[in-house]
Amino acid sequence: MKVLEAGGHSVDNQGTHSVESCDYPPICAGVGRTVRDGGADFGIVLGGSGQGEQLAANKVRGVRAALCNDLYTARMAREHNNANVLSMGARVVGIGLAEEIVSLFLKTPFEGGRHERRVEQITEIETQEFFR
């Protein structure tokens, strides 16, 4: 959070505020809803591996959460998938790399082009499944 704030970003910490084990799905869904509803441009969810956090955030309609435990997937998630929520594993990624991943994710623009069509197809699948 300090790195984000130092970079001029405002932070809405929806986290646990504790090191105790917790049920993360409602927290990650809350982050997704904040992004979906326009309260933030991007969201970040963190957990042990980042897997469950990504899955929970992706249950919110309009969220495209990407598990990015390296720089390549962070860049591709933004460039090709227009990801709007970043998920990372605290047991997988060290602090220095995590800071680099966040920075790259936030500054990488969506490439559009052929990728726009694919993101639209993903959105259409989401809509079809929602009304199923």
Of the residues 9, 79, 80, 100, only one is catalytic, namely 80
Which string of DSSP letters, residue by residue, matches the chain? -HHHHHTT------S-SSSS----HHHHHHHHHHHHTTS-S-EEEEESSSHHHHHHHHTSTT--EEE-SSHHHHHHHHHHH---EEEEETTTS-HHHHHHHHHHHHHPPP--THHHHHHHHHHHHHHHHHT-
* 80: annotated active-site residue: yes
Side by side, which strands form the sheet with 43-47?
43-47, 85-89, 65-67
Which entry of 5, 9, 17, 53 is annotated as an active-site residue?
53
* Active-site residue list: 53, 80
